[in-house]
Structure 1
């Protein structure tokens, strides 16, 4: 007699089972002190380094499949792991382990006239669901940040990085368990069925917050369908405005780095705004073109170099994630501010100028999660901000903004201490 096939659980049942196990593990995690969580993360980093061969072999499978399926160069760059990148991922876990533990920190404290002592104390959010595409480093970064902040995490990576994610997750869990941390605090969804994403978005009461990391279509779906609070990371349409008082050498170096250091990261500059009175505009665009960047410009930008392609309307609202850049010539600070207000995704915008007053006005008036003066937008990164790593860069206005790391993964509760007071 043929045995009946073993059916995979329905997506909602799978998510419920994983979430309940994670919530139980999060209660165990809450009993671990700061030193114990730190030791567990250092152990995970050590295990990651020890599993380099297995992880890189898994990544090679994903890269081969991605190449065969026609993934873009930017997506392949996000997917790629090598010894250096894996070493950096492990170093980020160690860095997170050594950061101050936010859990238990007192945000504010006061005594009321009736003698009540009131404090606001940081606590974990609970169970965080991370839905992400392509980047296998998110598996490690999210696990480390969630565990350090006392949260359990349910990871759902993209199919293009499935083997890499599984290898990284297996190594980290082995390291965490070796140090006494609950394995179920860091779970990777074992099913790539897209219906599982829907089940996670509907899991109100089981998952406390969803963080999407990926393209515009993924984030739009999460925001439209979620019945769980969402911490959104939108696309990075990042601008650099070169003011007429910019230092020419500084402007050229910043523009090159902001666009071409890594074109596939969300902090990559996508639009360059050149002041009409800036005397070295041609040198800046020539440097970009000579470095292999395609430029798409307005009429005045095209006049700077015959190699610049005329821009079309949607270029100003496109996140290229490639060696392609929109360029516009603007008549002063007001015009630059107006352009950014119309087209920025509120991620990261920068100014290059030696006029301190102009810089301060730009920093005050541009409504983006990160604003910069005289620096490359590629610094928009949790590690560069001293946060160890990041879950993502939140572009909304509620809960957390900019690189979301340990504090962004906590909430707070009121702790009230009395001596028998009753309310009249």
Structure 2
């Protein structure tokens, strides 16, 4: 039996431990996940003789996927401490959905996924089919109290939605590992779907629709983004509007204007230094998703009333403040910076390397976050929220640089996934400040 099949079988079988959910206290689930993490780090390699590790894992010294499996379960057990059924959904997606996607894709995969040729459409379909059925059976086996009062039929929509989005996340390039992206996506989507009520359009939806259309036309016509990127950007803008109205749309517009303007500064100098943006600076779908994906998720979450509106709206604006800060600090820092250092060691390094910052660039980043906070203040009059947005935006920009100096340099994360991570970290930082 090949190493890959052994890994998948172990990967799938571990979902049996999810049956403890609802049968033992939540703290015990967290403890089990922590013990599993310790086991996978130190004990499992000794027991198996590293037979479950891939060649890259042996070169690295540890198996990233095997370590992330219990680590992300521990994270989800804490996030959904009072409703660990969503941990079960994420677990089902990772163990059953992703596990069978690998097995079926390797055996029957013929048609490649267009944006990730090494993945197959067969694997993605298997993910949704086996993941949905297996996870629903898992939920059926849980105590009724653990299912939050929903019948098994009531869980069909949240679970299927979770598997569809998780299967999509599994095909995205540039993520650290499937064992991180898949369960996080599935748990979040199932939570949103289970918490949703019947949404209604905002009263000023016509104004919002017109502004979104103008933004799409203007961005494509000005060659700041390509056609498909503009359409996806318009969809993201619509999600932002649904959750935060004209205030959120204004923040998004501020990010677009400041980011586009900063990118146009010093083009010749950037080109001479090999730092110019690809495709003459025109953004595409992946740029739109990386910088605006988290804010759109927050917008939809608020619209579906799955979280208090103030929290979601501040998280939304904070993520865009971080995107603005990151763009200004990198684009203008590469032009006006004088001394470039590694954010962790403060040793001087080459301009443009991941995780390398300058004082001037950092100040531009702070200014960008403050401007976004002021725009929010002008629309809402809420000084506290504006301060949280600016502070979280600065934190997100710092996270971007730290990830760049560490994980991105190893090739485990792409620039786009780091950009998404910095916007998400800003949103989460805003949430923690508010709480």
What TM-score do you get using the length of structure 1 for normalisation? Answer: 0.32
The structure that has the greater radius of gyration is 1
Structure with the greater relative contact order (CA < 8 A, sep ≥ 6): 1 or 2? Answer: 1
Between Structure 1 and Structure 2, which shows a larger proportion of strand residues? 1
Between Structure 1 and Structure 2, which shows a larger proportion of helix residues? 2
